Structure 1
């Protein structure tokens, strides 16, 4: 099966559908079911993680964050390298780690900014709805040029976050404006949130092309996997933006 499109999401990358075995093909119904399963597991795990925070506090949440973040990186790497014949187990495990990460991060932000979880959640839902409308109405089209820009920006942002993470482990140096709450810091986070949101356009487009091109049935799991990554990223950036705005 030939590749059907491009996206900056590492899971839904170019040539991804190639060599994925399967006789049945993707469908909207099947893809929505897989999306529902993964998002359901992620939300449930996040809620359980938050509940542990009420008894264990921020110290326990830091452990959950480390486990979740490490699990995300490791599971994603294994899934992308191995590309298992049946990805259901792998992406399910990944969604658990995503839930641990989202839950622990949410608790940490909520402990400092009351009500921010609800605000970020509603904001994320609104962004998904707006992006889907803009894409379905053809107001924003995933043209090759659009995809190239979003892919490049996403790669640059990922590299920036990795540099910031490594620096935080071994030095006291921080990336300028990435975590600051001043006007420039807010603009930086708003820009990153915008890039994350535009990734939804590419994901919607890629899923549609996968279905119309009769990609393998297993692609439904991979599509849900990729969309989950983007949505959690949007939610995380929304938390960061709201926190910075409250610091003003």
Structure 2
């Protein structure tokens, strides 16, 4: 069987035909739930630290989460075999980021966190239904478009991060102008389409019979997209409330 997914392409033929210990959709769902609960637990801890000590009590922890999450994500992306170990670590770091970020937004915009959570799960369910009923066909051009747009967004964010070290920013992605809101909507859309690629990767993996450790990689991919979508929706709501 052939696959257009680059991660699946890296697997050896022996790994792809090992049906005695293979990836399943059910197994991936279970591991996604485990990672999600780790994220929520870590976020709850940092949220409580914020309530007890304010912004000063979580600032350094959030930066640890950002840096640690980035390193864990890079390791898992290039070494899917060790996702069983690194993916839970990533979930802890990302929970720290989400807990602190959500608390800080909630302080300024009452009710924004629950709205962001609701919209995030709403988008997730919509994309799941779209994929389930094959309303979108995963073709090579579609995959390239989504991956290309995702890499482009990450590049812009990286440039903005570098500029922030020198006291500057790309204001058009941070202010609440109509252009900035349109950009946020575009980014939310790309993040949502990444769910479709994740679902496809998991389904392909289960059909081909890739090794069991790929369940952790599939779960990791879903959590990465879920975290990204939540942060983007949170920021979009912030822009709308500032209008």
- Which bracket does the TM-score occupy, shorter chain normalised? over 0.9
**Cα distance in 2 for residues equivalent to 1:121 and 1:20:** 41
Q: Which of 209, 213, 218 is matched with 1:214 structurally? A: 209
Structure 2 equivalent of residue 232 of structure 1: 227
**Cα distance in 1 for residues equivalent to 2:13 and 2:48:** 42
Unaligned runs of 5+ residues in structure 2 are none
CA contact (8 A) 1:20 1:85 kept: no
**Cα distance in 2 for residues equivalent to 1:19 and 1:88:** 22
Q: Which of 34, 38, 42 is matched with 1:41 structurally? A: 38
Structure 2 equivalent of residue 10 of structure 1: none
CA contact (8 A) 2:4 2:140 kept: no
Q: Which of 155, 179, 193 is matched with 1:184 structurally? A: 179
Structure 2 equivalent of residue 245 of structure 1: 240
Structure 2 equivalent of residue 166 of structure 1: 162
TM-score (norm. length: structure 2):
0.93
TM-score (norm. length: structure 1):
0.91
CA contact (8 A) 1:135 1:201 kept: yes
**Deviation of residue 15 (structure 1)?**
2.8
**Deviation of residue 3 (structure 1)?**
6.7
Matches within 5 A, 1:77-156: 77-81=74-78, 83=79, 85-156=81-152
CA contact (8 A) 1:71 1:97 kept: yes
**Deviation of residue 246 (structure 1)?**
0.3
**Deviation of residue 239 (structure 1)?**
0.1
Shift in alpha-carbon separation, 1:154–1:85, aligned structure 2, 3 A:
closer
